[in-house]
Amino acid sequence: MKIAFNRKLSIIIPKFLKRLLLIIPLCFALGCTHTREITKGNQAEYFQEINNYDGGRTMTVNLTDNTEFNTNFLTVAGDSTFFMYGKTNNIKAVKTSEIREISQNYTGNGFLEGLACGALGGFTFGFFIGLASGDDTKGFISFSAETKAFISGIGLGLLSGTVGSVIGLTAGSNYKYMFRDNIDLYQSRLLKPE
């Protein structure tokens, strides 16, 4: 009975690894995105978070007329927003009601999120593989199923944590601030017949 189970397990694992190899490019493309919806009720908190931005990273400002600006400096207030864009750091002022979205990318957070997700997923998968392989027969070196579960869990956790941290460092962690009231207004203008 154990031999038949192990044969089935060896057939399942290569199929799983093939599927895993298809998922890895998606992880690079998608990264991790944190979306925050800004409304009149919470705008002071999120404006302060955006304004406390420490520089060094590029932010993208998307306006409701579909124009996009990349900036390293941005100040948001209830009525107006100021930012610098372009190679010559042109200063632009727009009404805050004309902003649809502000997005930022943090590679440091992406590294930590990728490390944590990869290590946790790898440990869990390795733990169950070790547990499913059962106890070894008596011999010079033999392990119980629980010991093999922890050994394979730690091994796969380290491996996938390393891969996850590289993916997180490459793709980063995206923060999107969606101006919900402005988006609703923008969409209502699009749907209004002329």
pLDDT tens digits, one per residue of 95-112:
888 888 888 877 777 788
CB atoms within 10 A of CB 71: 19
The answer to whether 113 and 170 are in contact (CB under 8 A) is no
pTM, two decimal places: 0.57
| 123-152 mean pLDDT | 79
Task: Give percent of the chain above pLDDT 90.
Answer: 0
pLDDT at 156 over 80: yes
pLDDT band at 3 (very low <50, low <70, confident <90, very high): very low
Report how far residue 127's alpha carbon sits from residue 186's, in angstroms, rounded to the nearest whole number.
Answer: 50
pLDDT band at 2 (very low <50, low <70, confident <90, very high): very low
pLDDT tens digits, one per residue of 56-96:
678 888 888 888 998 888 888 888 888 888 888 888 889 88
pLDDT at 31 over 60: no
pLDDT band at 194 (very low <50, low <70, confident <90, very high): low
Residue 167 makes CB contacts below 8 A (sequence gap 6+) with 24, 27, 28, 31, 114, 118
* pLDDT at position 184: 60
pLDDT band at 8 (very low <50, low <70, confident <90, very high): very low
Structural domains in the chain, sorted by start: 2-30+108-171 (no CATH), 35-104+179-188 (2.30.30.100)
Task: Give percent of the chain above pLDDT 70.
Answer: 74
The label of the residue with tokens 């009720």 reads: 41
Hey, what are 6's tokens?
């192990």
- CA torsion through residues 152, 153, 155, 156, sign: positive
pLDDT tens digits, one per residue of 169-192:
877 777 888 887 666 655 555 555
